[in-house]
Structure 1
Amino acid sequence: MQTYFYALADTIEKQLQTGETYLCTYEGEDSDFIRFNQGKIRQAGNVKQAYLSLSLVQGQRTSQTNITLSNDLAIDSAHLSETLAQLRQQLPHTPEDPYQLYSTTVHNSEHLANNTLPRTNDALDTILSTVQGLDFVGIYASGGIFRGFANSLGQRNWHSSYSFNTDWSCYHNQDKAVKSAYAGFIWDNATFAKKMETVKQQLHRLSYPARTIPRGEYRVYLSPTALSSIMQVLCWGGFGAKSQRTKHSPLQRLIDNPMEYRLHAGLTLTENTASGIAPDFQNAGFIKPAQVPLIKAGKFAQSLVSPRSAKQYHLPANGANDEEMPLSLEMQAGNFPQAYVLKALDTGIYINNLWYLNYSDRPAGRITGMTRFATFWVENGEIVAPLNVMRFDETIYNLLGKQLIALTIERELIIDADTYDKRANSTMCLAGALVEGVRFTL
């Protein structure tokens, strides 16, 4: 794929006219997809696909389009020639962009990951034998994801990664189920078996009579998966330079008034590209630092700065995508052992999953959402009943600030399970969180 992409880039290069610059990015994958229902394989297939995004630049004008590649060099080269001619015709009618910015410094890079994935059949044998007798519903996705960049200045970048992602639910009855996931780079049967044992234990507890508790404030434990839902909402503008400069960031109070608003001193968040599966370059040719500290010991550290924001607000670009959202978010581990969570929770709510999250007051950093699947009521350090669905409404400054009791030592790698259009390559590495006084409104 790498050689093929570079051959296409050379084809574009040869057809450029005076004063023209091109930028192009490559997105490809070779993935196995297996869907399960009631503990059986219901659909199996392999997807090999590749797309090329081409931008033609002249002065401050840019025309851009995307094409699907056939992997036949003659066909794709002819398609590119036609596409380039069309973009050239469009350029005079394209308005000038005052915030256009692309890298003019050539930084070549190559990341060729080792493929340590199991054979799909071996993973399936383990899954099917482990989930016998369960209403197991989910998906197994595995394979390579490939990204490339090239421009007329001679820059060439390539990134490959190989990962698997198993995302599933085991149903008890009606709306009662346990959701779990296992993702990574090297399949370990013992790790999957341990996760399934936890699922089975929680399924048994779902057989207890469900309980509804009054609205109010409760001590809660947020699993890494539940916390990832909160972090996903926070990433909607929380760390981007544009949202911060336009005062739309949900972390604006932390940025503008750090003496009054702060997060927990044990909270450190980093965009850790070096440990994720996303590439270390973006579609304007800028190279991402290995790490960008976002929150350091509870205080605002840096913004994610896209090329457009860099030009508009006179900031140094740091390789952020156009949305200025983290792709490889990592939370520093805490000092609290996960094995003691129930004992420390004492009486409160154990939350495995959240859903339907959104801002209820964006400027205040207030988020609302619903509990989902296996959420349990805990008394004296013991799970005593599953809870019916509840809505929470709380600020980031409480959840990750003054009401945060502890973060777990253990962290979980969460790979985005989105497969719409193509497999996602964003990741989070998160701890679990023990939080005091979370407000539940109904």
Structure 2
Amino acid sequence: MMRQYFDAIAQEVFVALNQDEQATLWLAGEVTDFVRFNRAKVRQAGEVRQLYLTVQLICGQKHVSQHVALTGVLVEDSTVLRQVLTELRGIVKEVADDPYLLLNTEVQSSEHSEFNLLPPTEQMVADIMIAIGDADLVGILAAGPVFKGFANSLGQRNWHEVASWNFNWSLYLQGDKAVKRGSAGTRWDTAALKAAVAEARSQLALLARPAKTLSPGSYRAYLTPAAVSELVGMLNWGGFSEREKRSKRSALLKLISGDASFSPLLSLRENTAAGLTPAFQREGFIKPDYVPLVKEGQHAGSLVSPRTAREFGIASNGAGGAEESESLDMAAGSLPKAEVLRALGTGIYVSNLWYLNFSDRAACRITGMTRFACFWVKNGEIVAPLDVMRFDDSLFRLLGSELESLTVERELLVDPGTYDARSTSSQHLPGALVRSLNLVL
């Protein structure tokens, strides 16, 4: 239904163009059920339906755009879009030529629509309530289809529609003691939800023990996939960007030059084929299934947007304007999750990290805090929760010389962000066992 509506809107816009004009359309929309939990009760439930269209008018090397909300009613929206074209025509002649404008003139149409396999949201809520029992839970469930569309006046049409769910939740004990978790996917798995809640409840009981305070120093550590997500997320602050690389602002310059490396165990790639984001971007360029970023510890590639490609005379690989990873994939290792505590021996079990920032970008050095269910482990057994600590360490060390192993199992971590719209960015990551993590206070 929505796909047919988009085709009709595109036809309305493109037949109204003058001979010397081109146009592109970018459609973004969702139908999402949001349910907020607090103290293990549903406190707020509602539905968000939104549909936005970005219209770009192009005359030679000049271009302007306007972002408008649509109703989904063709007659009403056609009237609005005719007015938008009139307004853009009055502006485009006044703007300067854009020397880095690169248009996709090769028509590459595509369609990816996954059948909605999610149960009714009411059923998902009922499953959550049964799983948590008498635990004190806080969280937000978001579920429903997200769709993106691209069209240009050359005849290209691209469509992406996937229904998914994301449950961002915590079990709370008291004070600042809580166990934080995130679950997501395109299929609802009641058994996996129950297992995750059971694991969180067991850790919640451990949090009731007297806390242990560590002195600053280096400690053997296991980082869960959620903690690894925070670390590699820092690399996404321009580290994978071709523009930042050529502007000498990338945190991975030493990796790119060969002056530093990660562990041979570490391989990262942009895995669009297995992610939730569309395989095309706002300018209509098609993304390859995979883009290698780090291969066995060495630099393997960058994300290249059309503007960067035009500026530096290289090929684009379909990256968005920010040149950030949207479907980051880290290769698995050989350590079974069931053997993590035994392999750790004595050290710290890090469930979550937060407040990360660069302390020395050129050295790929970052700082941050431990948070939510971090534990002291002795002889392969959790013995006490840890007070919050700050770490400061180089990723070239943590994911380089100090990386001992990665887990066999990986987790799909979907960005729970809902600013403007539900995010479709995701990471597929293992846990990491490191020989030492530097805690500074």
Bin the TM-score by the shorter chain: over 0.9
**Partners in 1 of 2:16 and 2:357 — Cα distance?**
48
Separation in structure 1 between the aligned mates of residue 112 and residue 71 of structure 2, nearest angstrom:
24
- Segment drifting more, 30-39 vs 121-130: 121-130
Report 1:58-73 matches (<5 A). 58-73=59-74
Equivalent position of 1:52 in the other structure: 53
Gaps in structure 1 of 5+ consecutive residues: none
> How far apart in 2 are the matches of 1:314 and 1:49?
38
Paired residues, what number? Answer: 440
Measure, in 2, the Cα distance between the counterparts of 1:200 and 1:343: 21
Q: Secondary structure at the match of 2:201?
A: helix
Q: Secondary structure of the residue that 1:247 maps to in structure 2? A: coil
Residue type at the aligned position of 1:403: E
Counterparts of 1:129 and 1:273 in 2: how far apart (Å)?
35
Alignment of 1:38-187 (within 5 A): 38-187=39-188
Match of 2:211, SS state, is coil
Q: Deviations over 1:224-263 (max 9, x none)?
A: 011111121110101010000011111110001x2x4111
Match of 2:273 in 1: 274
Aligned mates of 1:234, 1:389 — CA distance in 2: 24
Q: CA deviation at 1:62?
A: 0.8
Could you tell me how far apart the structure 2 residues matched to 1:407 and 1:325 are?
24
Structure 1 segment 160-239 matched on structure 2, within 5 A: 160-239=161-240
In 2, the alpha carbon distance for the partners of 1:118 and 1:416 equals 21
CA–CA separation in structure 2 for the residues paired with 1:236 and 1:299: 19
Tell me the amino acid that sits aligned with residue 329 of structure 1: L
Question: Which residue identity lines up with residue 429 of structure 2 in the other structure?
Answer: L
Q: Deviations over 1:245-282 (max 9, x none)?
A: 011111110001x2x41111111111010101100000
Consecutive unaligned residues in structure 2, runs of 5 or more: none
Give 1:375's aligned residue.
374
Cα deviations by residue, 1:278-303 (Å, 9 ceiling, x for unpaired): 00000111000011111111111111
C-alpha distance in 2 between matches for 1:401 and 1:23: 44
The within-5 A match list for 1:240-389 is 240-256=241-257, 258=258, 260-389=259-388
d(CA) in 2 for partners of 1:102 and 1:225? Answer: 38
SS at match of 2:351: strand
CA distance in 2, matches of 1:114, 1:264: 40
Tell me the percent identity.
48
Q: SS in structure 1 opposite 2:93?
A: helix
Name the SS of the counterpart of 1:202 in structure 2: helix
Displacement of 1:132: 2.1
Q: CA deviation at 1:190?
A: 1.2
Which residue of the partner structure matches residue 393 of structure 1? 392
Give the structure 2 partner of residue 431 of structure 1: 430
Q: Measure, in 1, the Cα distance between the counterparts of 2:20 and 2:76.
A: 27
Deviation of the 1:97 alpha carbon: 1.0
SS of aligned partner of 1:434: strand
**Structure 2 equivalent of residue 21 of structure 1:** 22
In the alignment, the residues of structure 2 paired with residue 288 and residue 319 of structure 1 have an alpha-carbon distance, to the nearest angstrom, of: 4
Residues in 2 aligned to 1:269 and 1:31: alpha-carbon distance in whole angstroms: 31
Report the Cα offset of residue 124 of structure 1: 0.9
**Separation in 2, partners of 1:293, 1:232:** 16
SS in 1 for 2:107: coil
Amino acid at match of 2:15: K
SS in structure 2 at match of 1:106 = coil
**Residues 387-408 of structure 1: per-residue CA shift (max 9 Å, x gap):** 1111111111111111100000
Cα distance in 2, alignment partners of residues 332 and 249 from structure 1: 23
